[in-house]
């Protein structure tokens, strides 16, 4: 594990991404103690611009925005990470079955994946929330439902490729059970690009959650960055700080996950062209 | 020779290729092949690349299903084997592949590669498996075994990787090993050592080999019998197939190998350019 972290630290974008996410993680865990004010209490006049007393100003009902953003980190990160892993679980199962068994299973599962892929994400989530109401866990499920096809396709591609390799043939010839071949022989070799995809999906999940929050569809009882944006809409012309700071936080988290994914990609796929910008060598 | 352990009867497998535009062309990789492999013998299957040798090997290993024809395991049709007989087949017939780096799982240490196989077939228990794996490595000449048990495949040389692959096959005490181009990715000195190892294993355990190769020289030194494959068919087989070739393709194949001694090379009969190689 430490060796793996060291390798990420030697990539171009990995260390920055890792640092950003570590800071956000610490903030998410310790928000209650770092926050200068109780995020739910009215601590000043409403709509105060940023000052030394209120670093990010106050919102329309006089709450300290800095404290709100800090506390919101927890929900946003939790939704991002949990939905990425939930998507990995769904997409992974589908991709493994389709990629290993081929034939009818492959055709059915991959068509299903494509069906989900062409559904507009926001509509899927809106539909789920309209049916079941907004709560934290449902939100994770809905976001996962929207992004699992990405994971399914990556894992499917890996399995299709790896199952033709000779070590898999050797395992079949040695009569090892199919579950063993899938879980012990192929899966560990299939994981590297999947890890990259999970990191990318976490940032995608945070973006989707913010979008939902902005539309007023996130859980009203949990402070999240998207939800802060929702209230900020009405004050765009009078209180810029209400939308800029939560927006910057979303941006930071998304950039962090993307840079981490970039670093991971460089570690697991060293021959790929380094970095996304610039001409290939 | 004793009764055949594995036989092919009118075995056929074709692949559809879309090489030229939309029209589908069917390539018969294995075309009506009849073959018997007897216990304890070394049968070499030779032929140029693309002649269907590897496809035949994959069929004999049960990794693909033939389009038509049968494979018989000790006289029983492959498709109607009972689960118990099928397990027996899986234990008795093992494989060694061409690319030793690809035939070992890169994420498993040598000891785990061997342990998985031995534990599954109850050839060792959790407490004895390490010693059993060490004994298998010792048997294929990887000594001292302790130097190799904890290594990953990428920490081994090509020859060592192939020895581990042989050890994995030998761990099940097979009666037959089907080796698909086991030498072609190794350099000459390592090839010789592995040929010696195969001969030694055969003498010690009475094991049979099916060796698939395009290298006539290597094959000639260990094979009891040679089958020559050309365009999916076996055109000639027998103990003297390479020494006294009858079929024009075999003659051409024998002539195409390089002879290190120029005096011998000059004396060799050449296939006249005008003489056509028949297509079947």
pLDDT in tens, A167-179: 999 999 999 999 9
Quote the pLDDT of residue B264: 67
Q: Is the pLDDT of residue A166 over 70?
A: yes
Residue of B nearest to A172 (CA): B63
Q: Is the pLDDT of residue A263 over 70?
A: yes
Q: Is the pLDDT of residue B272 over 60?
A: no
Sign of the C-alpha dihedral computed for residues B143, B144, B150 and B156 taken in this order:
negative
pLDDT in tens, B188-217: 889 999 999 999 999 999 999 999 988 888
DSSP A189-226: HHHHHHHHHHHHHHHHHHHHHHHHHHTT-S-TTS--HH
- pLDDT averaged over every residue in chain A: 88
ipTM for the complex shown = 0.85
How far away is chain B from the Cα of A169, in angstroms, using its nearest Cα?
7
Q: Is the pLDDT of residue B259 over 80?
A: no
Q: Do B93 and A173 touch (CB under 8 A)?
A: yes
| pTM value surpassing 0.90 | no
Q: What is the DSSP letter of A185?
A: I
pLDDT-based confidence at A100, cuts 50/70/90?
Answer: very high
Quote the pLDDT of residue A135: 81
Residue B194, both tokens: 């592995």
Q: In what order do the strands lie in the sheet with B68-73?
A: B25-38, B4-17, B68-73, B76-77
Alpha-carbon gap, residue B262 to A79, rounded angstroms: 75
Strand partners, B112: none
**Contact list, A169 vs chain B (CB under 8 Å):** 58, 61, 63, 95, 97, 103
Going from N- to C-terminal start, the domains of chain B cover: 4-107+152-267
Maximum pairwise Cα distance, chain B: 67
Going from N- to C-terminal start, the domains of chain A cover: 2-38+61-268
Alpha-carbon gap, residue A92 to A104, rounded angstroms: 18
Alpha-carbon gap, residue A156 to A98, rounded angstroms: 6
Q: How far is CA A210 from the centre of its chain?
A: 11
Residue B171, both tokens: 């761990």
Residue of B nearest to A166 (CA): B103
More confident residue, B49 or B130: B130
What is the architecture of the domain spanning A2-38+61-268?
A: Orthogonal Bundle (1.10)
- pLDDT averaged over every residue in chain B: 87
Residue A197, both tokens: 């995809």
Q: Is the pLDDT of residue B280 over 50?
A: no
Q: Do B102 and A175 touch (CB under 8 A)?
A: no
pLDDT in tens, B166-196: 999 999 999 999 999 988 888 888 999 999 9
* Average pLDDT of the segment spanning B37-42: 92
**Contact list, A172 vs chain B (CB under 8 Å):** 62-63
More confident residue, B41 or A127: B41
Quote the pLDDT of residue B274: 47
pLDDT in tens, A223-262: 899 889 998 988 988 899 999 999 999 999 999 999 999 8
Q: Do A167 and B102 touch (CB under 8 A)?
A: yes
pLDDT in tens, A182-223: 999 999 999 888 989 999 999 999 998 888 888 888 877 888
Residue of A nearest to B179 (CA): A170
Residue B103, both tokens: 């035939």
Quote the pLDDT of residue B78: 87
Question: What residues have CB less than 8 Å from B201, skipping those under 6 apart?
Answer: B139, B140, B166, B170, B207
Alpha-carbon gap, residue A101 to A159, rounded angstroms: 10
CATH of segment(s) B4-107+152-267: 3.40.50.300
Map tokens 């009867």 to a residue.
B9
């Amino acid at each position: 594990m430490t060796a793996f972290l060291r390798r990420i630290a030697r990539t171009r974008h990995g260390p920055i991404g890792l640092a950003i996410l570590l800071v956000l993680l610490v903030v998410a865990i310790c928000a209650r103690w770092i926050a200068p004010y109780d995020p739910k209490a009215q601590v000043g006049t409403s709509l105060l611009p940023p000052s030394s007393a209120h670093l990010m100003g106050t919102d329309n009902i006089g709450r300290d925005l800095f404290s709100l953003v800090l506390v919101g980190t927890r929900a946003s990160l939790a939704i991002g990470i949990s939905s990425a892993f939930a998507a990995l679980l769904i997409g992974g199962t589908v991709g493994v079955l389709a990629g290993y068994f081929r034939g009818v299973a492959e055709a059915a599962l991959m068509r299903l994946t494509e069906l989900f892929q062409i559904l507009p994400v926001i509509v899927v989530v809106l539909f789920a929330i309209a049916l079941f109401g907004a709560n934290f866990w449902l939100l994770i499920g809905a976001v996962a439902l929207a992004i699992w096809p990405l994971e399914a396709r990556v894992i499917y591609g890996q399995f299709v490729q790896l199952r033709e390799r000779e070590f898999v043939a050797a395992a079949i010839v040695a009569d090892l059970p199919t579950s063993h071949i899938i879980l012990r022989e192929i899966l560990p070799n299939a994981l590297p690009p999947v890890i990259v995809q999970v990191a990318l999906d976490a940032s995608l999940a945070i973006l989707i959650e913010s979008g939902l929050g902005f539309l007023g569809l996130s859980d009203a009882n949990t402070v999240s960055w998207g939800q802060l944006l929702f209230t900020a809409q009405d004050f765009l012309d009078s209180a810029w700080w209400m939308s800029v700071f939560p927006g910057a936080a979303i941006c930071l988290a998304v950039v962090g996950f993307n840079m981490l994914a970039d670093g991971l990609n460089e570690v697991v796929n060293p021959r790929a062209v380094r970095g996304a910008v610039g001409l290939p060598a | 020779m004793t009764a055949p352990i594995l036989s092919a009867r009118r075995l056929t497998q074709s692949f559809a290729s879309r090489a030229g535009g939309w029209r589908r062309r069917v390539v018969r990789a294995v075309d009506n092949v009849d073959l018997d492999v007897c216990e304890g013998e070394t049968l070499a299957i030779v032929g140029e690349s693309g002649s269907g040798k590897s496809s035949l090997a994959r069929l004999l290993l049960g990794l693909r299903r033939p389009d038509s024809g049968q494979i018989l395991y000790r006289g029983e049709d492959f498709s109607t084997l009972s689960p118990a007989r099928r397990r027996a087949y899986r234990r008795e017939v093992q494989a060694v592949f061409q690319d030793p780096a690809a035939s070992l799982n890169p994420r498993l240490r040598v000891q785990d590669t061997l342990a998985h196989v031995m534990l599954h077939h109850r050839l060792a228990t959790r407490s004895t498996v390490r010693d059993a794996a060490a004994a298998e490595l010792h048997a294929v000449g990887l000594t001292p075994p302790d130097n190799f048990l904890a290594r990953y495949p990428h920490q081994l040389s090509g020859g060592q990787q192939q020895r581990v692959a042989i050890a994995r096959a030998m761990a099940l005490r097979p009666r037959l090993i089907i080796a698909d181009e086991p030498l072609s990715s190794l350099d000459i000195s390592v090839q010789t050592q592995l040929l010696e190892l195969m001969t030694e294993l055969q003498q010690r355990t009475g094991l049979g080999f099916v060796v698939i190769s395009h290298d006539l020289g290597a094959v000639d030194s260990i094979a009891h019998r040679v089958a020559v494959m050309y365009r999916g068919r076996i055109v000639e087989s027998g103990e003297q197939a390479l020494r006294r070739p009858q079929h024009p393709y075999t003659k051409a194949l024998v002539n195409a190998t390089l002879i290190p001694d120029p005096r011998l090379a000059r004396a060799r009969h050449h296939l006249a350019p005008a003489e056509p190689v028949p297509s079947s």
